[in-house]
Amino acid sequence: MLKRYSVKNYDFYLIILTIALSIVGVLAISSAADESLRNKQILGIVLGIVLMVFISLMDYTQLIRFYWVFYVLNLILLLLVIFNGSSTNGSQRWLRLFGITFQPSEIAKILLILFYAQFIMKYKNKIKNMRFVFLCLLLLLPPLVLILRQPDLSTSVMVMVIFCMVMFVGGISWKLVAGVLAISIPSVAVIFYSAIQPNSPFLHDYQQKRILAWLHPENYANAEAYQTLNSMMAIGSGQLQGKGYNTNEISSVLNGGFISESQTDFIFTVVGEEFGFIGSVIVVVLILAIAIECLRIAAKAKDVAGAVIATGMACWIGFQGFMNIGVATGTLPNTGIPLPLVSSGLTSLVSVYIGIGFVLNVKLQSRKY
CA atoms of 29 and 38, how far apart (whole Å): 6
pLDDT of 79 above 50: yes
Burial classification of residue 329, based on how many CB atoms lie within 10 Å of its CB (0-12 exposed, 13-18 middle, 19 or more buried): middle
Instruction: Tell me the HSE value of 366 on the side-chain side, using a 13 A CA sphere.
Output: 25
pLDDT single digits (tens) 10-51: 899 999 999 999 999 999 888 776 677 888 999 999 999 999
How far is the first Cα of the chain from the last one, in angstroms, to the nearest whole number?
26
100-109, 242-251, 287-296: least confidently modelled range: 242-251
Question: HSE of 141 in the Cβ direction (CA atoms, 13 Å)?
Answer: 7
CB 236 within 8 A of CB 255: no
In this prediction, residue 258 carries a pLDDT of 59
CA distance 186 to 179: 12
Whether the predicted pLDDT of 369 surpasses 90: no
Summarize the confidence of residues 105-131 as an average pLDDT: 91
How far is CA 46 from each of CA 53, 96, 316, 327, 338, rounded to the nearest angstrom?
Answer: 11, 22, 21, 29, 19
Q: What pLDDT sits at residue 127?
A: 83
CB 245 within 8 A of CB 275: yes
Task: Indicate the range of 159-163, 177-181, 192-196 predicted with least confidence.
Answer: 192-196
Q: Across residues 334-351, what is the average pLDDT?
A: 88
Tell me the C-alpha distance between 285 and 281, whole Å. Answer: 6
- The pTM of this model reads 0.88
SS3 100: strand
Higher pLDDT, 314 or 34: 314
The pLDDT, as a whole number, for residue 65 is: 94
Range of 29-43, 148-162, 223-237, 352-366 with top mean pLDDT: 352-366
Mean pLDDT for 195-207 is 63
Average pLDDT, the chain: 83
Asked if 49 contacts 19 with a C-beta cutoff of 8 angstroms, the reply is yes
3-state secondary structure of 223: coil
What is the arithmetic mean of pLDDT over 342-350? 90
Beta bridge partners of 87: 92
DSSP codes, 8-19: GGS-HHHHHHHH
**Mean pLDDT computed over 183-191:** 68
Segment 237-264 shows an average pLDDT of 67
